[in-house]
Chain A
C-alpha cells in the first residue's frame, strides 16, 4: 500500500510541476492545487498507514495498546488543507483580476516587470 501511495504522490508532484510550467495562468493554479495535495498525501503516508485502528485508549489503560493511526499527522494535514484552501482562494481571485487587468492569460505576455 505504501509503495502504491509513493507512486501516486510522485505522480502528483510531477503533474503539479508540469502544470506550473505551462504558459496559462489557469493551469498554473491547477498546478498549485496539485502541489499542496501532493504534500498533504506525503505527510499522510510517511506517518504510517494504519487501517481501522483509531487512536483511542481502551478503558482502564493509560496508553494506546498496539498500532494505531497517528492523530498528529492528521491534525497537521487538516491544518495545511485549510491554509492551502485559503491561499488558493486568493490565488484564483488574483488570476481572475490579473486576467482582467492585463487582458491575457499567457504568462509569456506578463513580463512588464522583469
Chain B
C-alpha cells in the first residue's frame, strides 16, 4: 500500500526542509518562507497520518523493505499519531511566532534549520518501532535543542546549557545501557519483538532492573521528581519561541517514551514499576507547583509548572486503567498547547511591558486588554477551570483515580490544581491588574504584533475548542488508550506481516 509512506512523511519533510533551509542560510526571506510553509506542510501530513491511523488502525512502514524484526520499522499507532499531530501544530505555531521575533543574527546562525531538525527528531521518536532507533532520534532532537538553547550566547544561557547538556547526556547514557542490557537478554531491538520475547525470559528480576533503568532515563528526559533539576535551570534562558517549543514538546517526548515502554514492553511487574511511577508522579506534581509558588519571573513560574504538570501525565500511566490512560493522553495534548501558549504570551508581555519580572510589571490589562485575554484563557485552562481543556483532562484523571480508590493521589492532584490557580492569579494580579510600578521598565521599540497575536490566538482557540469538543478528543484518546492496553494489536501489526 502506497499510503504507508504517510508514516515516514512527518520525519522526511522536516529533514528535507532543514537541509534546504541550510543551503539558503544567508537569505532571510527564503528561510522564513521555508519555515512557515514547510511546517504548514508538516501539519498537513500529520493530519493525514492521524486520519489514516484513526480509520485503518495501526500503520506500519518497514524502512527499506527489511522485514521486521530485522529492519527498522516506523509504526504509527494512535498515540504516536496524536503526538506527531501535536508536534506539527506546535512547530507551525512556533515558526509563525518566530517570523517576527527571531532576530536576523540568530537566523544567520541557523535558527530555522535547527527548528526543522528538532521537529524531525521529535517526530522520529514518536514514530519509530525500534528501541535503538528511538535512542538515535533522541540524540537528533537533543543536538538540535542544545544549539537552540544557547542561541544568543548570554551568561544565563551558558550556565543553563551546561546543566541541560550534562543531565540529558547522562540520561542518554543510561538509556543506551538499558538498550544494551535488553539486547543481551533477548537479542532483538524491535520493540514489539522485545515485548514478545521478554515474557519467556527466565530471569524476570533482571527484566525489572532493566525496566528501572529505562524509567530513570526517561524520567530525566520528562523532568520528573527527583530528576528535574535541569529544567528550571535552563528553560527560561533561550529565545521565547524556543522556550515555548521546548516546554510544549521536549518533556513530552520523555513522557511518550515512558508511555510506550511501560505499556508495551515492561508490563510484567506493574506492581513494582507502576507503584514507583505513582510515587514519582505525586512528588513531581507537588515539588513543581511549590517551586513555582516561590518564583517571581514569569518564565520561571511557567517552567516549574511544566514539571508539576508532568506529574499528572505520569499519574495517568501509573494508575494504568483505561480511563487513566485516556486522561493522561488528554493531559499531554492539553498541556502542550497551553504551556506553549503561555510561554509565547510571556514573550509578548516582555515586548509590551518591558520585563519578565512580576515586580516590574503592571497595568497591562488597561493598556493591552487583548494580551490580557490571551493570557487569561490558557492560564485558567492550566489551572483546570471549566469549560477549558484543562478541566476535562484533570476531571478524567481524577475520576480514574477514584475508580481505583487512589484517594491520596487524587487529593494531591486537586491540591496542586488549586496551587496552580494561585500561581496563575499571582501572574494576573502582578502583571495585569496592579498599577504600573515606578520606574517603568523601558519597552522595546513598538512593532507590529499582529502575527504574534494571531499565533497565540490559535493556541488559545485550540484550548477552548478542546474543552467544548472534549467528546471528540476523548474518543481519539480512548482509541489510543485501548491500543496501549492491548499491546497484542501493536505486536500483530509489526510482526504479523512477516508471516504473510
Contacts and interface: CB of A to CB of B under 8 A. Distances in A.
A42 B177 CA distance: 7
A47 B146 contact: no
A80 B166 contact: no
Interface stretch (B149-157, B337-345, B490-498): B149-157
B158 A43 contact: no
A98 B135 CA distance: 27
Nearest to B300: A113
Interface of B: 132, 135-136, 139, 142-143, 146-147, 150, 153-156, 158-163, 165-166, 169-170, 172-173, 176-177, 179-181, 183-185, 189, 232-234, 236-237
| Chain A residues touching B, majority SS | helix
Contacts of A45: 184
Contact of B180 (A39, A94, A111): A39
A91 interface: yes
Contact of B169 (A80, A91, A101, A107): A91
A60 B163 CA distance: 56
27 contacts: A28-B166, A32-B166, A32-B169, A32-B170, A36-B173, A36-B176, A38-B173, A38-B177, A39-B177, A40-B176, A43-B176, A43-B184, A46-B181, A76-B189, A80-B176, A87-B143, A91-B169, A98-B158, A98-B159, A98-B162, A101-B153, A101-B158, A110-B158, A113-B159, A113-B233, A113-B237, A114-B232
Given A39-B173, A87-B139, A87-B142, 15 more contacts: A32-B173, A35-B173, A38-B177, A46-B184, A76-B179, A87-B146, A94-B158, A94-B165, A97-B150, A101-B153, A101-B154, A101-B155, A102-B158, A111-B159, A113-B234
Contact of A79 (B136, B155, B169, B233): B136
A114 B166 contact: no
Given A72-B189, A76-B132, A90-B143, A47 B183 contact: yes
Given A28-B166, A39-B176, A46-B181, A79 B132 contact: yes
Contacts of A39: 173, 176-177, 180
Contact of B139 (A35, A83, A98, A102): A83
Nearest to A42: B180
Nearest to B162: A98
Interface in A49-101: 72-73, 76, 79-80, 83, 86-87, 90-91, 94-95, 97-98, 101
B143 A112 contact: no
Interface in A1-57: 16, 20, 25, 28, 32, 35-36, 38-40, 42-43, 45-47
Nearest to B138: A83
Contacts of A102: 155, 158-159
